[in-house]
Amino acid sequence: MVFMGYYLIRAQAELERRMHSVGIDETEWLLESVVIRKKEYDRSAWTPQDHSTQVKLAFLLNLASEYSDVTDFRSVFPAFEISTGFFEHWWSMESVDCLDLEELRVGNGILIDRTGHAAVDAWLDEIEGKRS
């Protein structure tokens, strides 16, 4: 069976300290949390550790290909490496579940207060119409 794996990547506090130490305070894209989505198979030779390692390396490969020529990036990472040790020094990662709002169903008897935001309240009216 095929399913989607979701991995949340967050910058470690050490990365923010490193950025400040080299005088970079406005490179928010290095500190933003990222969710990586990937296909996984329940009948596969891949272990959870294999999936985790793949995601870490893919994240670093993407950073290197997107930003390696950016001056701020080179200032923060003068010796950038594509390795799990390098990833784990600067970032953390956890496997997370994902809620698909298109699939959301509200059970009978659940009361939903309106927010006063027209768009959100219209959405609430719509999902109330899909009660299970």
Question: What are φ and ψ of residue 95, in 5° steps?
Answer: -80, 135
Q: Where are the domains of the chain?
A: 2-98, 101-132
- Under DSSP, the state recorded for 5 is E
CA 83 to chain centre: 19
Query: pLDDT digit string (tens) for 81-115?
Result: 999 999 999 999 999 988 888 777 777 778 888 99
C-beta of residue 67 within 8 angstroms of C-beta of residue 24: no
* pLDDT value at 28 more than 70: yes
Neighbours of 74 (CB within 10 A): 14
